[in-house]
Chains A and B, each alone.
Chain A
Amino acid sequence: MTEKILRSKVVVWTLLVLPGLWPLWPIFIRPDPSVTADPFKYVLHHWGFVACLVLAVVLAFSPLRVLWPKWGVAQALNRHRRLVGVAAFVYAALHLSTHLIYEGGLDLAAIPATLKTALGKPFQLTGLIAFTILSVLAGTSVKAAIKWLGGKLWKNIHRLAYVAAALAAYHQAAARKLFPMQVVWIFGPLLILEIARVWKQRQPASGVK
């Protein structure tokens, strides 16, 4: 049943779009003064959070399939890898655009200066590099790109997603004055799955029927 639902593109699209719309609730529908005090900061953080979450989720698809190859849910999820991966890029792009617009106080002419500041600060630079990687991956996500680059090169390029995840985890942790446990909840399970996957792939093949 679950796998049938998860096979549906409409369901996956809905699951990807809804979290991005969440800020409408505390800003407009049931205004929360702690959010309306600085609504764009809230949106900035929220979209960054969703970008990290979606990235961690899409990276979990493949280890899930390796660990439980016969599990229908894992198979269903892997059909949507490209869509979910592109969604992570879209949220990262929304997050960065909010930063660029807001940091300059709506002044578009201030964007180059804001980018220059970002290059000089490891906290901001890591986020920027992670975004650049996601842009390359999104740009090469079309079928034609696989043909053009060749499967092996394409695959190696797309392994950069793990680098992006590590940078995003650092970036998210450094966004607060104290270490936010959120980072552990988002990226911790992924790390465990990846370790399990590597461990399983190193097992001698003899045990497999």
Chain B
Amino acid sequence: MLIRTPQAWELPESAATPESLYHLSKRRDFLKALGITGAALAAREALAATAGFPSKVNAAYRDPALKPTAYEHITSYNNFYEFGTDKAEPKVYANRGWKTEPWTVEVTGLVNHPLKLDVNDLVEKMGGAEQRVYRLRCVEAWSMVVPWDGFQLSKLIALADPKAEAKFVKFTTFLDKASSPGQRQGNLDYPYVEGLRLDEAMNELSFIATGIYGKAIPNQNGAPLRLVVPWKYGFKSIKSIVKLELTDKQPKNTWQVLQASEYGFYANVNPTVDHPRWTQASERVIGGGLGRQKTLLFNGYEAQVASLYQGMDLRKFY
């Protein structure tokens, strides 16, 4: 007799959030619901990728135990140093004329089919957007739960067809000093760069987000498309990507360039490896008042990603 044990993420149809609640379909409808019309709508409409909505909820990546953080917290508590180092600044400065549409992304380097295309065309090519609910753990010891809309990164990489020598993916964000106060100040080494090992990038969890809560992703969250690697600290999930480059050398990510003793290449969430200045054993829950919870190894995604790091000393490769 076969006894089937339900997986942690499985949930009955009845437990799913009604579609109407989850996404107010297109960005236009959402803005209308907010009462933004006419000129204001036209001005804000041209901000981010709108293709692919409404997205389909992917129940395989929606742990019913996870309670999504409120939209207003996700979109007003941001680390996006291109637009200021305080949490409240990106929402203000990323919406002062920075254009995220049209937006072109390229996949280049050690690939057989280099790509260069508009982000909306890319989403169509990926077969539209799906929604996944992931934990997000920042290196500063706070966490959120975000319903992301987008597509699995492996699909995009497969489309470009990596060559056998390709071992890493280097991601680069935009460089536009006129629109970015942080880049004008030079508070970090810009453009922001991140990297993954190719097998990490091809993992089922690695995701490219073009939306949050079924709506086009706001500028302050990394419009029009960003990486989401939920088992790593948030700084790995680079925002507003313009280029993916397949390479045979491990890329130097921006935070590692700034302070290699504090920020590594891997940056896997690990409660037993402290940041030199603070502990990573627990995390503050955004929107959770006084709530604090224990941090989980690989941010709770051990089953999916632990095999990537077998035999590696996670203290050394932090």
Task: Please give me the residue from chain A that is nearest to B71 by CB atom.
Answer: A33
Cβ–Cβ < 8 Å partners of B286 in chain A: 37-38
Structural contact, A177 and B140, CB atoms closer than 8 A? yes
Structural contact, B76 and A34, CB atoms closer than 8 A? yes
Cβ–Cβ < 8 Å partners of B252 in chain A: none
Structural contact, A117 and B279, CB atoms closer than 8 A? yes
The yes or no answer to A32 lying at the interface (CB within 8 A) is yes
Task: Please give me the residue from chain B that is nearest to A34 by CB atom.
Answer: B88
Distance of A157 Cα from B81 Cα, bound (Å)? 43
The yes or no answer to A72 lying at the interface (CB within 8 A) is no
CB distance from B289 to the nearest CB of A (A): 7
Structural contact, B290 and A36, CB atoms closer than 8 A? no
B290 interface neighbour in A35, A105, A177, Cβ under 8 Å: A105
Task: Please give me the residue from chain A that is nearest to B294 by CB atom.
Answer: A105
**Given A33-B77, A38-B142, A124 and B72 contact (CB-CB distance below 8 Å):** no
Number of interface residues of A (CB under 8 A): 25
A37 interface neighbour in B77, B140, B292, Cβ under 8 Å: B77
The yes or no answer to A121 lying at the interface (CB within 8 A) is yes
Chain B interface size, under 10 / 10 to 19 / 20 to 34 / 35 or more: 20 to 34
Task: Please give me the residue from chain A that is nearest to B284 by CB atom.
Answer: A38
Structural contact, A121 and B91, CB atoms closer than 8 A? no
The yes or no answer to A106 lying at the interface (CB within 8 A) is yes
Cβ–Cβ < 8 Å partners of A33 in chain B: 70, 72-73, 76-77
Distance of A122 Cα from B78 Cα, bound (Å)? 27
**Given A121-B278, A178-B85, A40 and B73 contact (CB-CB distance below 8 Å):** no
Distance of A168 Cα from B285 Cα, bound (Å)? 28
The B interface, classified by DSSP as helix, strand, loop or mixed, is loop
**Given A32-B88, A177-B140, A39 and B76 contact (CB-CB distance below 8 Å):** no
**Given A105-B290, A178-B187, A36 and B73 contact (CB-CB distance below 8 Å):** yes
The yes or no answer to A154 lying at the interface (CB within 8 A) is no
> What 1/0 mask marks residues of chain A from 35 to 75 whose CB sits below 8 Å from any chain B CB?
11111110000000000000000000000000000000000
Structural contact, B278 and A124, CB atoms closer than 8 A? yes
- Which residues of chain A in 157-173 are interfacial with respect to chain B, using CB atoms and an 8 Å cutoff? none
- Which residues of chain B in 81-120 are interfacial with respect to chain A, using CB atoms and an 8 Å cutoff? 81, 85, 87-88, 91
Structural contact, B278 and A123, CB atoms closer than 8 A? yes
Q: What 13 additional pairs, Cβ within 8 angstroms, besides A40-B289, A105-B282, A106-B290?
A: A35-B88, A37-B286, A38-B77, A38-B284, A38-B286, A40-B290, A41-B142, A105-B290, A105-B291, A105-B292, A121-B278, A177-B85, A178-B81
- Could you name 6 residue pairs across A and B whose Cβ atoms are closer than 8 Å? A34-B88, A34-B91, A37-B287, A41-B284, A103-B292, A178-B85
- The 7 A-B pairs with the shortest beta carbon distances in the complex, nearest first, are A105-B292, A34-B88, A37-B77, A123-B277, A33-B76, A37-B73, A33-B72
A interface residue numbers (CB < 8 A to B): 32-41, 102-106, 117, 121-124, 174, 176-178, 180
